[in-house]
């Protein structure tokens, strides 16, 4: 099984090396690594070029935002399965991709495999702030604002081919809308892997403050309605107390 890993980046000189090295350290060998850079003006490209012999495909050009960059990567990917690892994230262990492959082999009818992520302090990467567990996720929970952690989700290329690319209509919630189309519109099958797959630096576009959360929740409602799925803002906000509990939950060993 060939696995395509896509990293999208823009002016990521402070974090991109950790991301790249976590991919190159994977014990699974059949990995196609694709990096899509949005024409960075800092030293991001210089850092990437240090690993150019181990990067399968590199594109550096202006784009229309993070989801446009993801779409470029998905279109270039030739793997059986695609994972997206952003430039401020990195794999939790060296055997993440190997574990994903085994899970697909054990669940051959599954089109998506997802696991957990942990958020860490950007200046103290061993300091876990939040454990985002996907163990209780069910497809129907999308109507209530829940989704699998996108950076810890691996999707068959064939599912992308049927579902289409990420929508550019949303600033934050295009990954959420993708899950709506994958799971509630096209009814692809998913399986959960009980393992922390990705370590994320806190402060990303969808977790960077009250305004971002307000926009995210509004976009979640919009994505559901655009796909004929009923929800409303009050249903989506019922997840807030559970999200607060995640701030004190520690990851399982």
pLDDT at 253 over 50: no
DSSP string, 104-159: HHH-TT-SEEEEEEEEEETTEEEEEEEEE--TT--GGGGGGT----GGGEEEEHHH
Residue 6, CB-side half-sphere exposure with 13 Å CA sphere: 28
User: pLDDT band for position 27 (50/70/90)?
Assistant: very high
pLDDT at 244 over 80: no
Residues 6+ apart with CB under 8 A from 125: 18, 199, 201
The fold of the 3-246 domain, in CATH, is Spore Coat Polysaccharide Biosynthesis Protein SpsA; Chain A (3.90.550)
161: left (phi over 0), alpha (psi -120 to 50) or beta: alpha
Over 90: is that where the pLDDT of 40 sits?
yes
Tens digits of per-residue pLDDT, 139-155? Answer: 999 998 889 999 999 99
- pLDDT, tens only, 179-237: 999 999 999 999 999 999 999 998 755 455 567 778 888 999 899 999 999 888 877 87
Give the start-to-end residue ranges of the domains of the chain: 3-246
Q: Higher confidence at residue 238 or residue 100? A: 100
Asked whether the beta carbons of 97 and 132 are under 8 A apart, the reply is no
Per the DSSP assignment, residues forming a β-bridge with 123 are none
The pLDDT tens digits for 161-179 are: 999 999 999 999 999 999 9
SS3 of 164-224: the string is CCCCCCCCCCHHHHHHHHHHHHCCCCEEEEEEEEEEEECCCCCCCCHHHHHHHHHHHHHHH
- CA torsion sign for 250, 96, 8, 49 is positive
Cβ–Cβ under 8 Å, residues 163 and 178: yes
Model confidence band, residue 86 (pLDDT cutoffs 50, 70, 90) = very high
pLDDT at res. 196 = 96
CA pair distance 112, 104, nearest whole angstrom: 8
């Amino acid at each position: 099984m060939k696995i395509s890993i896509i990293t999208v980046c823009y002016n990521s000189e402070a974090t991109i090396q950790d991301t790249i090295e976590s991919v190159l350290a994977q014990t699974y060998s059949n990995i196609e690594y694709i990096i899509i850079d949005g024409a960075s003006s800092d030293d991001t490209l210089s850092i990437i070029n240090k690993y150019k012999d181990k990067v399968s495909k590199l594109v550096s050009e202006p784009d229309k935002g993070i989801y446009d960059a993801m779409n470029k990567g998905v279109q270039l990917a030739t793997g059986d399965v695609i994972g997206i690892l952003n430039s401020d994230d990195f794999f939790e262990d060296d055997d993440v991709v190997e574990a994903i492959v085994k899970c697909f082999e054990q669940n051959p009818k599954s089109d998506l495999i997802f696991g957990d992520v942990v958020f860490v302090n950007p200046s103290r990467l061993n300091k876990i702030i939040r454990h985002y567990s996907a163990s209780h996720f069910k497809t129907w929970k999308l109507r209530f604002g829940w989704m699998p952690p996108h950076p810890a989700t691996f999707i068959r290329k064939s599912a992308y081919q049927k579902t289409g690319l990420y929508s550019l209509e949303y600033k934050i919630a295009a990954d959420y809308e993708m899950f709506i189309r994958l799971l509630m519109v096209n009814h692809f099958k998913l399986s959960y892997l009980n393992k922390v797959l990705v370590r994320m630096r806190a402060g990303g576009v969808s977790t960077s403050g009250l305004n971002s959360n307000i926009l995210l929740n509004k976009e979640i409602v919009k994505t559901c309605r655009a796909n004929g799925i009923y929800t409303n803002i009050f249903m989506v906000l019922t997840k807030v107390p559970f999200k607060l509990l995640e701030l004190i939950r520690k990851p399982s060993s």
